[in-house]
Amino acid sequence: MSQKKLIQTRVRNAIKVFSFDVDGTLVSHGFVDCVWLQGIPEAYAEKEGLSFEHAFECVKKEYDKIGENRIEWYKIDYWLRKFGLSITREELFRKYEGEIKIYEEVESVLRVLKEEGYLLVVSSNAATEFIDFQIHPIKKFFSRIFSATSDCGEVKKSNAFYARVCGILDVKPQEVIHIGDHWVFDFINPRKIGMNAYYLDRKSKRGRSVSVKNDEFVISDLSEILDK
Ligand SMILES: [Mg+2]
């Protein structure tokens, strides 16, 4: 056996957990975008008697004032209250349920990993309610769902967040493989604490990627993880 093969086998034997990001990794961004950029402005337009365009500008301005570095940004109930909207989160979610798109290969990959005895978890930046609603059909594969914003009060997936995940699961970072589509929050940060991470670049398959990143740890869809 070659040195490289030997190392790969050793790494594989040490792995106990597969961790997945959600938006852009398990599901496309369609649903989330519709809720924030269509549903909320639409409800606001109706309430204030504004055109959609005008309401969109107002809503966007308020989003920007808070910004993604504050925890409120991620909390839908905060925004419904702030804009004084009578539509509930459930109604809003149901309205765009049809926009949820779980990527094609996801279910079969999760099934294979699960059958091979790995523990599967979600490690996402999104609020728990967004995660639960979007991954509903594949939720059965996951043993735990970790939301940086809802569970840890963090706005980004930091190395501390990943350390906490390992602590709760009672595994070493080296025993976990995390996969996600954000270079820093899904690749650099988990690697900082010694997790194995793969960067998912779905665009690279269609030859549109301008990425110069280390190919060994870049995949273009989740099924590639089964070959690694
Ligand atoms: Mg993502």
Please say if the pLDDT value at position 208 is more than 50. no
Long-range Cβ contacts of 156-161 (<8 Å, 24+ apart) = 156/125, 156/185, 157/123, 157/124, 157/125, 157/182, 157/185, 157/186, 157/189, 157/190, 158/189, 159/189, 159/190, 159/192, 159/193, 161/123, 161/189
Give distance in angstroms: CA of 48 to centre of ligand 1: 33
- Residues within 5 A (CB) of ion ligand 1: 21, 23-24, 181
Encoding tokens for residue 108?
């079969």
**55-95: per-residue pLDDT in tens?**
999 999 999 999 988 999 999 999 999 999 999 999 999 99
pLDDT at position 95, please? 97
Q: Does residue 1 have a pLDDT over 60?
A: no
Residue 3 CA to ligand 1 centre (angstroms): 34
Q: Please give the average per-residue pLDDT across 195-214, as a whole number.
A: 74
Amino acid sitting at position 11: V
The DSSP output letter for 156 is S
Does residue 198 carry a pLDDT above 80?
yes
Q: What is the mean pLDDT of the chain?
A: 92
Q: pTM for the whole thing?
A: 0.89
- Residue 215's pLDDT is 79
Distance 38 CA to ligand 1 centre (A): 20
Tens digit of pLDDT for each residue in 97-127?
A: 999 999 999 999 999 999 999 999 999 999 9
| β strands within the chain, DSSP E | 17-20, 119-124, 144-147, 176-180, 196-200, 218-219
Is residue 137 predicted with pLDDT exceeding 80? Answer: yes
The full set of domains in the chain, from first to last, is: 3-28+102-226 (3.40.50.1000), 30-98 (no CATH)
Query: What's the CA gap between 193 and 137, in Å, rounded?
Result: 32
Question: Residue 173: which residues within 8 A CB-CB, separation 6 or more?
Answer: 162, 163, 166, 190, 193, 194, 195
Asked if residue 20 has pLDDT above 90, the reply is yes
With tokens 């990527």, the residue in question is 103
On the question of pLDDT at 26 being above 90, the answer is yes
